[in-house]
Amino acid sequence: MYQFYLGIDGGGTKTHCALFDRTGTLVDFVKWGTTSHEFLPGGYQELKGELQRMFDTIQQRNKLSWEDVSVVYGMAGVDCARQQKLISQLIYDCGVRNCLLCNDAFLGIKAGTDQGWGICSINGSGTGAQGIDRNGKTCRVGGLFEFSGDYAGGKILGSEVVSHVYDHLFRGGRKTELSRLLFEKFHADNREDLMEEIICRMAERTLEPKEFAPLLLEAACAKDETALSILSKCGEQNARDIIAVAKQLDFPNGEAVSVVLLGSLYTRAKHNQIVDSLEKALKQNEMGKEFRLIQLSIDPVIGAVCWAMENDKRKFDRNRISSQIESWQWKERH
Protein backbone atom coordinates (compact mmCIF):
# COMPACT_ATOMS: atom_id res chain seq x y z
CA MET A 1 0.00 0.00 0.00
CA TYR A 2 1.19 3.50 -0.82
CA GLN A 3 2.08 6.16 1.74
CA PHE A 4 0.60 9.08 -0.23
CA TYR A 5 -2.14 9.70 -2.79
CA LEU A 6 -1.85 12.54 -5.29
CA GLY A 7 -4.88 13.63 -7.28
CA ILE A 8 -4.35 16.05 -10.17
CA ASP A 9 -6.94 17.85 -12.27
CA GLY A 10 -5.31 19.51 -15.28
CA GLY A 11 -7.84 21.54 -17.26
CA GLY A 12 -7.57 24.07 -20.05
CA THR A 13 -6.88 27.02 -17.74
CA LYS A 14 -5.60 25.63 -14.42
CA THR A 15 -4.24 22.56 -12.64
CA HIS A 16 -5.08 21.53 -9.08
CA CYS A 17 -2.89 19.03 -7.20
CA ALA A 18 -4.06 17.53 -3.88
CA LEU A 19 -1.71 15.34 -1.83
CA PHE A 20 -3.13 13.12 0.94
CA ASP A 21 -1.42 10.69 3.29
CA ARG A 22 -2.58 7.14 4.05
CA THR A 23 -4.84 8.36 6.90
CA GLY A 24 -6.83 10.49 4.45
CA THR A 25 -5.34 13.74 5.71
CA LEU A 26 -4.56 16.57 3.29
CA VAL A 27 -0.81 17.22 3.23
CA ASP A 28 -0.48 19.78 0.43
CA PHE A 29 -2.53 21.57 -2.21
CA VAL A 30 -0.78 23.10 -5.22
CA LYS A 31 -2.32 25.36 -7.86
CA TRP A 32 -0.63 25.49 -11.26
CA GLY A 33 -1.41 26.88 -14.70
CA THR A 34 -2.66 24.71 -17.54
CA THR A 35 -0.88 21.39 -18.06
CA SER A 36 -2.59 20.46 -21.30
CA HIS A 37 -0.64 20.34 -24.55
CA GLU A 38 -3.76 21.64 -26.33
CA PHE A 39 -3.62 24.93 -24.42
CA LEU A 40 0.15 25.41 -24.20
CA PRO A 41 1.58 27.31 -27.21
CA GLY A 42 4.60 24.98 -27.33
CA GLY A 43 2.52 21.79 -27.34
CA TYR A 44 4.14 18.60 -26.04
CA GLN A 45 7.59 20.17 -25.76
CA GLU A 46 6.31 22.91 -23.46
CA LEU A 47 4.21 20.36 -21.57
CA LYS A 48 7.34 18.34 -20.76
CA GLY A 49 8.99 21.29 -19.01
CA GLU A 50 5.76 22.34 -17.28
CA LEU A 51 5.24 18.85 -15.87
CA GLN A 52 8.82 18.64 -14.62
CA ARG A 53 8.55 21.98 -12.80
CA MET A 54 5.21 21.07 -11.25
CA PHE A 55 6.25 17.62 -10.05
CA ASP A 56 9.58 18.93 -8.75
CA THR A 57 7.71 21.59 -6.76
CA ILE A 58 5.39 19.02 -5.18
CA GLN A 59 8.25 16.64 -4.42
CA GLN A 60 10.51 19.26 -2.88
CA ARG A 61 7.76 20.84 -0.78
CA ASN A 62 6.85 17.48 0.72
CA LYS A 63 10.18 15.57 0.53
CA LEU A 64 8.52 12.73 -1.40
CA SER A 65 9.85 9.59 -2.94
CA TRP A 66 7.65 8.96 -5.97
CA GLU A 67 7.81 5.21 -5.28
CA ASP A 68 5.56 5.89 -2.25
CA VAL A 69 2.90 7.86 -4.15
CA SER A 70 -0.14 6.66 -6.10
CA VAL A 71 -1.15 9.30 -8.65
CA VAL A 72 -4.33 9.77 -10.68
CA TYR A 73 -4.02 12.55 -13.22
CA GLY A 74 -7.01 13.82 -15.19
CA MET A 75 -5.78 15.98 -18.06
CA ALA A 76 -7.60 17.93 -20.74
CA GLY A 77 -6.40 16.79 -24.15
CA VAL A 78 -5.86 13.10 -23.38
CA ASP A 79 -8.20 12.09 -26.17
CA CYS A 80 -6.80 8.82 -27.51
CA ALA A 81 -4.52 5.91 -26.59
CA ARG A 82 -1.51 7.39 -28.41
CA GLN A 83 -1.75 10.64 -26.47
CA GLN A 84 -2.18 8.74 -23.22
CA LYS A 85 0.93 6.68 -23.92
CA LEU A 86 3.01 9.70 -24.98
CA ILE A 87 2.05 11.88 -22.01
CA SER A 88 2.36 8.97 -19.57
CA GLN A 89 5.96 8.62 -20.72
CA LEU A 90 6.56 12.34 -20.11
CA ILE A 91 5.21 11.90 -16.59
CA TYR A 92 7.41 8.82 -16.06
CA ASP A 93 10.43 10.82 -17.25
CA CYS A 94 9.67 13.32 -14.45
CA GLY A 95 10.32 10.50 -11.98
CA VAL A 96 6.67 9.69 -11.22
CA ARG A 97 6.33 5.91 -11.22
CA ASN A 98 2.73 5.07 -10.32
CA CYS A 99 0.35 7.22 -12.36
CA LEU A 100 -3.02 6.53 -13.94
CA LEU A 101 -3.53 9.15 -16.67
CA CYS A 102 -6.98 9.84 -18.08
CA ASN A 103 -9.06 12.59 -19.64
CA ASP A 104 -10.07 15.12 -17.00
CA ALA A 105 -13.80 14.47 -17.51
CA PHE A 106 -13.54 11.05 -15.87
CA LEU A 107 -12.71 12.80 -12.59
CA GLY A 108 -16.19 14.31 -12.53
CA ILE A 109 -17.72 10.83 -12.38
CA LYS A 110 -15.56 9.79 -9.42
CA ALA A 111 -16.19 13.11 -7.65
CA GLY A 112 -19.90 13.47 -8.34
CA THR A 113 -21.42 9.98 -8.03
CA ASP A 114 -21.72 7.71 -5.00
CA GLN A 115 -21.31 4.53 -7.02
CA GLY A 116 -18.25 5.73 -8.99
CA TRP A 117 -19.80 5.18 -12.41
CA GLY A 118 -21.98 7.22 -14.75
CA ILE A 119 -21.38 9.91 -17.38
CA CYS A 120 -19.64 13.27 -17.20
CA SER A 121 -20.41 16.07 -19.64
CA ILE A 122 -17.80 18.82 -19.80
CA ASN A 123 -18.57 22.32 -20.98
CA GLY A 124 -15.62 24.54 -20.09
CA SER A 125 -12.74 25.54 -22.36
CA GLY A 126 -13.56 22.39 -24.32
CA THR A 127 -16.41 19.90 -24.32
CA GLY A 128 -17.24 16.21 -24.64
CA ALA A 129 -18.86 13.34 -22.75
CA GLN A 130 -17.08 10.48 -20.98
CA GLY A 131 -18.53 7.49 -19.20
CA ILE A 132 -17.57 4.67 -16.85
CA ASP A 133 -20.05 1.79 -16.49
CA ARG A 134 -20.62 -0.63 -13.61
CA ASN A 135 -18.03 -3.02 -15.08
CA GLY A 136 -15.33 -0.36 -15.32
CA LYS A 137 -15.55 -0.03 -19.11
CA THR A 138 -14.95 3.51 -20.35
CA CYS A 139 -16.08 5.47 -23.39
CA ARG A 140 -15.82 9.03 -24.65
CA VAL A 141 -17.54 11.01 -27.42
CA GLY A 142 -16.66 14.48 -28.70
CA GLY A 143 -13.94 16.69 -27.31
CA LEU A 144 -11.93 17.05 -30.53
CA PHE A 145 -13.23 20.56 -31.28
CA GLU A 146 -13.93 21.02 -35.01
CA PHE A 147 -12.84 17.46 -35.83
CA SER A 148 -15.68 15.91 -33.83
CA GLY A 149 -18.20 18.57 -34.80
CA ASP A 150 -18.35 20.03 -31.29
CA TYR A 151 -20.80 22.84 -30.72
CA ALA A 152 -20.01 23.55 -27.09
CA GLY A 153 -17.05 24.61 -24.96
CA GLY A 154 -15.61 28.11 -24.69
CA LYS A 155 -13.33 27.82 -27.72
CA ILE A 156 -16.14 26.87 -30.12
CA LEU A 157 -18.83 29.11 -28.62
CA GLY A 158 -16.44 32.06 -28.52
CA SER A 159 -15.82 31.62 -32.25
CA GLU A 160 -19.57 31.51 -32.80
CA VAL A 161 -19.92 34.91 -31.13
CA VAL A 162 -17.48 36.53 -33.55
CA SER A 163 -18.90 34.78 -36.60
CA HIS A 164 -22.47 35.88 -35.86
CA VAL A 165 -21.35 39.44 -35.21
CA TYR A 166 -19.36 39.39 -38.45
CA ASP A 167 -22.44 38.11 -40.30
CA HIS A 168 -24.51 40.93 -38.84
CA LEU A 169 -21.99 43.69 -39.54
CA PHE A 170 -20.65 42.66 -42.95
CA ARG A 171 -23.37 40.51 -44.55
CA GLY A 172 -26.52 42.16 -43.23
CA GLY A 173 -27.40 39.14 -41.11
CA ARG A 174 -29.68 39.07 -38.09
CA LYS A 175 -29.14 41.94 -35.67
CA THR A 176 -27.76 40.75 -32.35
CA GLU A 177 -26.94 42.19 -28.93
CA LEU A 178 -23.58 40.42 -29.30
CA SER A 179 -22.45 43.17 -31.68
CA ARG A 180 -22.93 45.88 -29.07
CA LEU A 181 -21.18 43.79 -26.40
CA LEU A 182 -18.23 43.12 -28.69
CA PHE A 183 -17.86 46.81 -29.56
CA GLU A 184 -17.91 47.59 -25.84
CA LYS A 185 -15.32 44.96 -25.04
CA PHE A 186 -12.80 46.41 -27.50
CA HIS A 187 -13.85 50.07 -27.33
CA ALA A 188 -14.04 50.06 -31.13
CA ASP A 189 -15.75 52.82 -33.16
CA ASN A 190 -16.47 50.91 -36.37
CA ARG A 191 -16.64 47.39 -37.75
CA GLU A 192 -13.24 47.54 -39.47
CA ASP A 193 -11.45 48.59 -36.28
CA LEU A 194 -13.29 45.91 -34.33
CA MET A 195 -12.27 43.05 -36.60
CA GLU A 196 -8.73 44.37 -36.96
CA GLU A 197 -8.31 44.34 -33.17
CA ILE A 198 -9.64 40.77 -32.92
CA ILE A 199 -7.57 39.45 -35.84
CA CYS A 200 -4.31 41.02 -34.67
CA ARG A 201 -4.68 40.00 -31.04
CA MET A 202 -5.58 36.43 -32.02
CA ALA A 203 -2.50 36.26 -34.25
CA GLU A 204 -0.34 37.63 -31.43
CA ARG A 205 -1.83 35.05 -29.02
CA THR A 206 -2.92 37.76 -26.60
CA LEU A 207 -6.56 36.80 -27.12
CA GLU A 208 -8.32 33.40 -27.18
CA PRO A 209 -11.74 32.53 -28.66
CA LYS A 210 -13.03 31.28 -25.27
CA GLU A 211 -12.84 34.86 -23.95
CA PHE A 212 -15.88 35.73 -26.06
CA ALA A 213 -18.09 32.96 -24.64
CA PRO A 214 -19.27 34.93 -21.56
CA LEU A 215 -20.81 37.50 -23.91
CA LEU A 216 -23.29 34.82 -25.00
CA LEU A 217 -24.62 34.55 -21.47
CA GLU A 218 -24.88 38.34 -21.11
CA ALA A 219 -26.79 38.56 -24.38
CA ALA A 220 -29.03 35.65 -23.37
CA CYS A 221 -29.95 37.50 -20.16
CA ALA A 222 -31.09 40.34 -22.46
CA LYS A 223 -33.20 37.76 -24.38
CA ASP A 224 -31.13 38.08 -27.55
CA GLU A 225 -32.45 35.54 -30.06
CA THR A 226 -29.05 34.79 -31.58
CA ALA A 227 -27.45 34.07 -28.21
CA LEU A 228 -30.37 31.93 -27.03
CA SER A 229 -30.23 29.94 -30.27
CA ILE A 230 -26.50 29.27 -29.92
CA LEU A 231 -26.88 28.18 -26.29
CA SER A 232 -29.84 25.92 -27.14
CA LYS A 233 -27.88 24.22 -29.89
CA CYS A 234 -24.99 23.80 -27.45
CA GLY A 235 -27.23 21.96 -24.96
CA GLU A 236 -28.62 19.74 -27.72
CA GLN A 237 -25.09 18.81 -28.83
CA ASN A 238 -24.10 17.96 -25.26
CA ALA A 239 -27.18 15.72 -25.01
CA ARG A 240 -26.25 13.88 -28.21
CA ASP A 241 -22.78 13.16 -26.81
CA ILE A 242 -24.24 11.88 -23.52
CA ILE A 243 -26.72 9.59 -25.29
CA ALA A 244 -23.98 8.26 -27.59
CA VAL A 245 -21.89 7.31 -24.54
CA ALA A 246 -24.88 5.67 -22.83
CA LYS A 247 -25.49 3.48 -25.89
CA GLN A 248 -21.95 2.05 -25.71
CA LEU A 249 -21.84 1.28 -21.98
CA ASP A 250 -23.66 -1.07 -19.62
CA PHE A 251 -25.92 0.81 -17.23
CA PRO A 252 -28.62 -1.02 -15.21
CA ASN A 253 -32.09 -1.03 -16.73
CA GLY A 254 -34.69 0.77 -14.71
CA GLU A 255 -32.15 3.05 -13.03
CA ALA A 256 -31.49 6.66 -13.91
CA VAL A 257 -28.01 7.21 -15.33
CA SER A 258 -26.09 9.82 -13.33
CA VAL A 259 -24.78 12.64 -15.53
CA VAL A 260 -22.28 14.95 -13.87
CA LEU A 261 -22.09 18.44 -15.37
CA LEU A 262 -18.60 19.90 -15.23
CA GLY A 263 -17.14 23.15 -16.53
CA SER A 264 -17.75 26.87 -16.17
CA LEU A 265 -20.44 27.07 -18.87
CA TYR A 266 -22.50 24.67 -16.74
CA THR A 267 -21.56 25.61 -13.20
CA ARG A 268 -20.98 29.38 -13.36
CA ALA A 269 -23.30 30.45 -16.17
CA LYS A 270 -25.39 33.61 -15.75
CA HIS A 271 -28.15 32.01 -17.83
CA ASN A 272 -29.46 28.42 -17.69
CA GLN A 273 -30.37 28.04 -21.37
CA ILE A 274 -27.70 25.36 -21.99
CA VAL A 275 -28.84 23.13 -19.13
CA ASP A 276 -32.53 23.64 -19.97
CA SER A 277 -31.89 22.63 -23.57
CA LEU A 278 -29.75 19.68 -22.47
CA GLU A 279 -32.39 18.41 -20.07
CA LYS A 280 -35.15 18.68 -22.67
CA ALA A 281 -33.12 16.79 -25.29
CA LEU A 282 -32.20 14.01 -22.83
CA LYS A 283 -35.87 13.45 -21.96
CA GLN A 284 -36.58 12.86 -25.63
CA ASN A 285 -33.90 10.16 -26.07
CA GLU A 286 -34.88 7.12 -28.13
CA MET A 287 -33.34 4.63 -25.67
CA GLY A 288 -36.05 5.11 -23.08
CA LYS A 289 -33.34 5.84 -20.52
CA GLU A 290 -33.76 8.26 -17.66
CA PHE A 291 -30.87 10.61 -16.93
CA ARG A 292 -30.26 12.34 -13.61
CA LEU A 293 -28.29 15.58 -13.87
CA ILE A 294 -25.78 16.40 -11.13
CA GLN A 295 -24.26 19.88 -11.01
CA LEU A 296 -20.78 19.24 -9.62
CA SER A 297 -20.33 21.55 -6.65
CA ILE A 298 -16.96 20.21 -5.46
CA ASP A 299 -13.48 20.41 -6.96
CA PRO A 300 -13.00 17.65 -9.59
CA VAL A 301 -9.56 16.94 -8.11
CA ILE A 302 -11.45 15.18 -5.30
CA GLY A 303 -12.39 12.52 -7.84
CA ALA A 304 -8.71 11.98 -8.66
CA VAL A 305 -7.82 11.55 -4.97
CA CYS A 306 -10.68 9.09 -4.40
CA TRP A 307 -9.67 7.12 -7.49
CA ALA A 308 -6.04 6.92 -6.37
CA MET A 309 -7.16 5.52 -3.01
CA GLU A 310 -9.68 3.20 -4.66
CA ASN A 311 -6.97 1.73 -6.91
CA ASP A 312 -4.92 0.96 -3.79
CA LYS A 313 -7.99 -0.63 -2.13
CA ARG A 314 -7.78 2.07 0.52
CA LYS A 315 -11.04 3.08 2.23
CA PHE A 316 -11.81 6.77 1.86
CA ASP A 317 -14.38 9.32 2.98
CA ARG A 318 -15.20 11.55 0.01
CA ASN A 319 -16.91 14.15 2.19
CA ARG A 320 -13.87 14.39 4.47
CA ILE A 321 -11.55 14.73 1.48
CA SER A 322 -13.79 17.45 0.04
CA SER A 323 -14.07 19.41 3.30
CA GLN A 324 -10.29 19.45 3.78
CA ILE A 325 -9.69 20.78 0.26
CA GLU A 326 -12.42 23.41 0.66
CA SER A 327 -10.91 24.51 3.96
CA TRP A 328 -7.43 24.77 2.42
CA GLN A 329 -8.73 26.83 -0.49
CA TRP A 330 -10.71 29.10 1.83
CA LYS A 331 -7.60 29.80 3.91
CA GLU A 332 -5.64 30.63 0.73
CA ARG A 333 -8.30 33.12 -0.37
CA HIS A 334 -8.43 34.80 3.04
pTM for the model = 0.87
Give pLDDT tens digits for 20-37.
Answer: 999 999 999 999 999 999
- Predicted confidence at residue 25, as pLDDT, reads 97
pLDDT attached to residue 39: 84
Question: Is residue 84 within 8 Å of residue 103, measured between CB atoms?
Answer: no
Q: Which segment of 145-154, 244-253, 295-304 scores lowest on mean pLDDT?
A: 145-154
pLDDT digits (tens, 9 = 90+) for 168-216: 999 999 999 999 999 999 999 999 999 999 999 999 989 999 999 999 9
Cα atoms found within 13 Å of the Cα of residue 222, Cβ hemisphere only: 13
> Residue type for 302, please?
I
Closest CA to 26 of 311, 330, 296: 330
State yes or no: pLDDT of 15 exceeds 90.
yes
Instruction: Walk me through the domains of the chain, giving residue ranges and CATH numbers.
Output: 4-104+300-333 (3.30.420.40), 118-149+230-295 (3.30.420.40), 157-213 (no CATH)
Residue 38's pLDDT is: 86
Residue 125: the pLDDT is 82
132 burial level (CB within 10 Å; 0-12, 13-18, 19+): buried
**What is d(CA 291, CA 288) in angstroms, rounded to the nearest whole number?**
10
Comparing CA positions, the residue from 189, 202, 273, 201 lying closest to residue 235 is 273
Would you say residue 286 has pLDDT above 90? Answer: no
Cβ neighbours around 9 below 10 Å, total: 27
